[in-house]
Structure 1
Amino acid sequence: MARSRVCLVSLAVALLAGCDREPATKIVEVRPVRTIVAASQPAGEMVVLTGHVQAQDEASIGFRIAGRMIERSVNIGDRVEMGQVLAKLDPETEVNGLRSAQAALSAAQAQLTQSRAAFERQRSLLATGHTPRAQFDLAEKAMLNAQAAVDDAEAQLRIAGRRVRYTVLVADAPGTVTARGAEPGEVVQAGQMIVQLARQGGRDAVFDVPASLLRSAPADSEVTVRLTDDAAIVASGRVREVAPQADPVTRTFLVRVGLADPPGAMRLGSTVSGSVQIDTAPVVSIPASALTRVNQQPAIWIVDPNNLTVALRNIELLRFDPGTVVVAHGLEPGEIVVVAGVQALHPGQKVRLLGPQV
């Protein structure tokens, strides 16, 4: 019994001695991280679009009159010279019209000769007083009517002559046939496209461009154009024409880039890619490894330089590039961003910066 009391007293003394000691200091975990200092830099984005080569001047050639086409002497891909015959209409109706106009002119001229002779007789008789004034006036009127009939017949003859010439379709400039719109034997209408002619001269690279790119691209930017099947074939050009209205289906604008001295391999219809450098306002870019997510949004860890603790912050991204991201909002130049070790951090954690900050 005495022995038990001694043990209890010893235990009580030990507990009282423990109560007088100060609690042990809590160990704070300091995690090493790699960081960068955010800095603004000029933004340059290379935009690449796909298009094709067209002639700068391309015209649809057609007859000025309707008729049955009896001949088309060119096909797609043929090179033509100025004045070369492209197609012909059946000229029978127009030739008959020309003969009728010639006959009408001959009749009008005969009538004019007769009326003029009658007028001269009446004028001589009037001078001697052997004819009344009214008879002279009638002769003068008949002569003037005959002269008007001759003038009309001459005009009709010129029209008929032109219609005969219009039965033959000729090239108005040298170029290459790129399309055909009718075959021999068809009845064609006035103005209907018979052949499409890419006139010899400059070439354009044609692209469908989104409206957002038109707003951000410089007005006089230089475009580098390459053949898609052979990137070594290159030409440069500048924007020559922008469509005033967007395509109703694609909502893009047709842009023509005039090519300066295009190589011969850039044939009409060739598929090309056009690249242009777009410079925008300075932006802040960070390595993609700095990104994490919080509240279903992109976020980054920001280091407080005073106490070396970290905090999460949501950011808005402008675009992704290979290995980097461009920040639109949420990060200012000069702030310290954690770029390695982001998955092992928690808000308020102490960190130790590894290596020099760049």
Structure 2
Amino acid sequence: MFSLRSIAAALVIIVTISSSGLASATEVTALASSRMVVLTGFTRARATLDLVAEEAGRIDSVKAEIGDTIGQDGIFARIDDTFIRLDLDNNRVQQADLRSRIDFNKKEAERYRELVAKNTAAQSTLDSMEQTLDASRFELNALTVQERILLERLERTRIKAPAQWKIITREVEPGQWVNTGQIVGKAGDFSTLLVPFALAPEQYVALRRSTAPLTLNMPELGISIPARVERVNPGFDPDTRKIAIDLTVSKGLDELRGGLRTILTLEMPEATGAVLLPKAAIEERYEDHWVTRDNGERIRVVLLGNHSGPDGSLLRVTGDGLQPGDKFRLMGKE
């Protein structure tokens, strides 16, 4: 038979084990509290280009209106090239004349070489003819260079834009006179859209550390689209204290255009150092709120608000020494 003392000792052991299991089952770990920062940006062309007249003259035709896509030939407008073509024709006539004279002078020079070899003609006459022949060759070379210049000017009467870009502005009409260097329009590359943002340093760090797929919400369209970081400006604006970044989007939109509002949401650490705890971990006494650590230490806390977590409603609380990862007892009731 067992003595009363041994039975009492066994009961103490059972109660101790049960109490230990109950404590471990009623503990909760504090989670880091975060806040959502919402930034707004607007889409724009990935690149833009001013369309500039490289020749002075009268506009002969304009091939694209605002919003039109530039064709494969890349031509936006043409400048009247009548006088350049006339100069080119004149140049080619002069070249033909010089080639004829060079051929004649070459024959004459060859004939005089034979005469000089027979001592029937003066050497000075031959030297004069060869000098004239060399001068004609140099003149022909100059006309050839002039022809290339005229051909280049003829090509530049076509005001061009990159193929498949869209016209943003048109500042010229047929018959209008334009000067060299005058801007006559602007084209943009809308095959990929750019969304610029200016981020505070802590926002930039949060963006880089995020492991979730980067997406932009488009409230007017009611959709979210994937995005990626195109470039980050390595400089820093001391006035705004912001870092400039550009995101690009090219999929998920029926129309690629500028001016579409996008929302970038970043999850940031709570600036107050608050943590997330369930309501059952917080005890209210005389309008004060308390939490109890797993070692029994009680800490007074301040409630900052609700936070709907994945496991139910959580509360944002702050207090002396509270850190994410700390363990607390579930003292209250849901």
Q: TM (normalized to structure 2)? A: 0.67
Equivalent residue, structure 1, for 2:12: none
* Identity level (%): 19
Equivalent residue, structure 1, for 2:219: 228
Equivalent residue, structure 1, for 2:137: 147
Matched, 1:157 2:134: no
> Would the aligned equivalents of 2:32 and 2:276 in 1 still touch at CA under 8 Å?
no
Change (3 A) 1:253 1:59: farther
SS for the counterpart of 1:144 is: helix
Matched, 1:82 2:59: no
Give the alignment of 1:1-358 within 5 angstroms: 40-42=30-32, 45-83=35-73, 85-184=75-174, 185-190=176-181, 192-199=182-189, 201-218=191-208, 222-231=213-222, 233-246=223-236, 250=240, 252-277=242-267, 284-285=274-275, 325=316, 331-332=322-323, 334=326, 355=332
AA aligned opposite 1:145: A
Change (3 A) 1:186 1:336: farther
> Would the aligned equivalents of 2:33 and 2:316 in 1 still touch at CA under 8 Å?
no
* Cα deviation 1:335-358 (Å, max 9, x = unaligned): 979xxxxxxxxxxxxxxx9637x9
AA aligned opposite 1:271: R
Q: Which has the larger radius of gyration?
A: 1
> Would the aligned equivalents of 2:218 and 2:263 in 1 still touch at CA under 8 Å?
yes
Equivalent residue, structure 2, for 1:9: none
* Cα deviation 1:150-205 (Å, max 9, x = unaligned): 11101111211221232122444123212234455252433x44332234633333
Q: CA RMSD in A?
A: 4.3
Equivalent residue, structure 1, for 2:19: none
Unaligned stretches of 5+ in structure 2?
1-26, 283-287, 308-313
CA shift, 1:326, in A, is 7.2
Change (3 A) 1:305 1:54: closer
SS for the counterpart of 1:131 is: coil
AA aligned opposite 1:189: T
Number of residue pairs matched by the alignment? 291
Change (3 A) 1:77 1:144: same
CA shift, 1:206, in A, is 3.1
AA aligned opposite 1:61: L
SS for the counterpart of 1:77 is: coil
Looking at structure 1, the residues matched to 209 and 119 of structure 2 have their Cα atoms a distance apart, in angstroms, of 87
* Cα deviation 1:267-290 (Å, max 9, x = unaligned): 333222233456799x64157x99
> Would the aligned equivalents of 1:227 and 1:266 in 2 still touch at CA under 8 Å?
no
CA shift, 1:217, in A, is 2.1
Unaligned stretches of 5+ in structure 1?
1-36, 291-298, 338-352
